[in-house]
Amino acid sequence: MLQFICPPMPHFIHGGEDTYPILGGHADRSNIGVFDLIYVTRGSLYMEEEGQEFNISAGHYAIFRPDRSHRTTMPCSEETHFYWLHFQTVGDWSESHERLPFSISQEGQPFAPIEYFPFQLPKQKRVLVPHAIEEKIRELLQLQEQPSAQSRWTQQQIFHLLLQLLQDQNQSAVDSPYLQIAEATALFLRRSYQDPLSYKKMAEELHFHPNYIAICMKKTFGCTPLEYLTRHRIEQAKRLLIHTNEPIGKIAEEIGFGSFPYFVRCFTKHTSTKPKAFRMLYRSK
């Protein structure tokens, strides 16, 4: 399972289609720097990615990582037609067995969006409605012939719809218990960020043990509930520092920090700037 932390959304780069004859095969690729999504409409491709096998038959897709090698393991046994789409993300991503670091660059930005959400896709799967997938892919490829800004904008929208279609047809990603519990926890933390964090109350609200909730947050967001809550509080502090004249101590209290020195330490750690200096920096702008 591949997981992308959004925003930003993955972005489409380039695509095409190809047909291999009997005994044909995909060229070996190594660390190409982009995700390679292959969707087969006729025949079969037999490939692997560093030991993981991908037998991609008609109506199936596979996604290869940008930082690994993939190659053909067996030539085509029949004429095989497929589409390929290259895409990338500048956000955090991981496979399900990897730990995802929860970090967003804030350099030069007074605000960083905190309402992140995970988007998950199986690396290989059969699609349930092939004609809908093929229609979106053809629309993407047609727009490549129109290199205008408007076409590129439309192209990204279509690509996001395509990703959503792939996810909608793979409910195992949407219905992941880890994902559902982590998203419910994130919503709970954002709603109650002004209150002291109570693991007992959180467990009662979500009907799961705090340790299991923490595991779900780690798997989905790569952070503990407390780390998520702290980042959200810091974002609220930024907003108040810039848009109000409230004393810094009062802001720290309003956003849930019980200790003013602790608030200053956390704010400085996450922004590399003390609260007063942050306020003066962005007020002067």
**Residue pLDDT tens, the chain, 285 long:** 888 888 889 999 999 999 999 999 988 989 899 999 999 999 999 999 988 999 999 999 999 999 999 999 999 999 999 999 999 999 888 887 544 444 444 445 555 555 677 788 889 998 888 899 999 999 999 999 887 899 999 999 999 999 988 887 655 544 567 778 888 998 899 999 999 999 999 999 999 999 999 998 888 777 899 999 998 999 899 989 988 999 999 999 999 998 999 999 999 998 889 999 999 887 765
* pLDDT tens for each residue of 166-193: 887 655 544 567 778 888 998 899 999 9
Q: Are residues 185 and 162 in the same domain?
A: no
147 and 223, same domain (yes or no)? no
Could you say which of 168, 185, 213 is where a domain stops? 168
Cβ neighbours around 218 below 10 Å, total: 18
Q: How many structural domains comprise the chain?
A: 2
Q: What is the pTM of this model?
A: 0.64
Q: Are residues 184 and 96 in the same domain?
A: no
143 and 161 co-located in one domain: yes
* Domain C-terminal end among 145, 168, 191: 168
Residues 158 and 258 in one domain: no
Indicate which CATH number applies to the domain containing 231: 1.10.10.60
- Residues 136 and 265 grouped into a single domain: no
Q: The domain that contains 160 carries what CATH number? A: 2.60.120.10
Same domain, 160 and 191: no
Both 40 and 106 in a single domain? yes
Q: Are residues 31 and 116 in the same domain?
A: yes
Q: Could you say which of 115, 135, 168 is where a domain stops?
A: 168
Let me know whether 31 and 122 are in one domain. Answer: yes
Same structural domain for residues 50 and 156?
A: yes
One domain, residues 131 and 237: no
Residue range(s) defining the domain that contains residue 10? 2-168
